[in-house]
Amino acid sequence: MNGWRALLGLFVAGNLGLLVWGLWGVDGSMRAIEAPGLRAEWVAVERPWKQAVDVVLSPQPPAPKINLKQGQANLDSAIESASKQVLEDPKKNQQCRLWGPLLQSESARVQESLSDWNGSFKRLERQVPVGYVVYLPQDTVNSGVGIEQLSGKGITDMFYITTPGPLQGTISLGLFRDQDRANVQKDDLAKRGVAGVQIRERLGPARVFFELRGSPAQIEAVESIFKLNRKGELKPCDS
C-alpha cells in the first residue's frame, strides 16, 4: 500500500515539473501561452460600436406645388371683396320705425324696455295734432268779414282766436277731431256763401317719440318689445 502511494507521489511531482519547464524556458524567461484555447484573438468578443449599421430613411412627401397665378387671383379677389365691404354704406340695409306719441311717464318705461336692444334709437319731442280747426284766415277777417257778417249767414258756432300762435287773429268756425267732418263743415260754409275757409291741424302739448333704426332682425326684435309695451303706435318712419 505504501508503495503505491510513493509511486503516485512521484507521478504527480513529475507532471508538475513538466508544467514548470513548459512555462519557463531554458534562459529563465516566461514562455507565451500558445494553447489554441487560450489565444485572445480566438475568443469571440462582440463589439457593437464597430458593426456597420444600415440607416433606413423614411421617404419624405413631395413638396406641394404652388400655383402663383392662382394665388395672386385669390389675393386680388379677397382685396376687392374687402374693399366693397369697407366702401358699402352700413346703413343701406337698415330700417326705421317710429314709436309714439308717448306721455312723459310712458316714455320712461319704453326707454327702459329698449335698454338691451342693440339697434340705435333717438328720443324726439313733437307736438301732435289733437284735431282740426275750420277757420276764416286773418287776411279775410282784416278785409271786413267779421262776426256780424257771419251771423247774417246763419252761422252760430264761431269765435275770435286771440291765443298767440299761427291762428291768432283768425275766426274759428268749428273744431273737429276727424278731418272728414272738418271737410264737411268747410263745404257747408261754402254753400252759405262763406269764401276762403281753411282747415288746419290743432296741435296739442309736446309728446315723446322714439326713432328706431336697425337691421331687419333688430326691427323684428323691437316689434316683439312693442307687443309687451303697447303705448302709442309703432309704424314706419316718414322718411
Burial track 95-126 (b if 16+ CB lie within 10 A, e otherwise): bebbbbbbeeebbeebeebbeeeebebeeeee
Backbone angles phi, psi at 34, to 5 degrees: -110, 15
What is the structure's pLDDT at 81? 65
Greater confidence (112 vs 43) lies with 112
What is the structure's pLDDT at 89? 54
60: exposed, middle or buried (Cβ count in 10 Å: 0-12, 13-18, 19+): exposed
What is the structure's pLDDT at 83? 58
- Residue 100 forms beta bridges with which residues? 233
What is the number of other CB atoms lying within 10 angstroms of the CB of residue 185? 18
What is the structure's pLDDT at 74? 72
* Predicted confidence (pLDDT) per residue in 162-201, tens digit: 988 889 999 999 999 999 999 999 999 999 999 999 999 9
C-alpha cell at 187: 263745404
What is the structure's pLDDT at 238? 83
**CA 102 to CA 105: how far, in whole Å?**
8
pLDDT band per the 50, 70, 90 thresholds, residue 6: low
* Predicted confidence (pLDDT) per residue in 44-74, tens digit: 556 655 666 565 556 666 666 666 677 677 7
36: exposed, middle or buried (Cβ count in 10 Å: 0-12, 13-18, 19+): exposed
What is the number of other CB atoms lying within 10 angstroms of the CB of residue 76? 10
Greater confidence (142 vs 87) lies with 142
What is the structure's pLDDT at 163? 87
Any idea what DSSP says for residue 168?
T
Backbone angles phi, psi at 180, to 5 degrees: -65, -40
Residue 5 reports pLDDT greater than 80: no
What is the structure's pLDDT at 86? 46
Any idea what DSSP says for residue 46?
-
Q: Give the CA dihedral 103, 106, 107, 113, nearest 10 degrees.
A: -160
* Predicted confidence (pLDDT) per residue in 119-175, tens digit: 999 999 998 888 999 999 999 999 989 999 999 988 998 999 998 888 999 999 999
**CA 206 to CA 125: how far, in whole Å?**
6
Contact 232, 102 (CB under 8 A): yes
Residue 3 reports pLDDT greater than 80: no
Indicate yes or no: pTM above 0.75: no
* Predicted confidence (pLDDT) per residue in 211-226, tens digit: 999 999 999 999 999 9
* Predicted confidence (pLDDT) per residue in 11-46, tens digit: 656 655 555 555 555 555 555 445 454 454 545 556
What is the structure's pLDDT at 32? 47
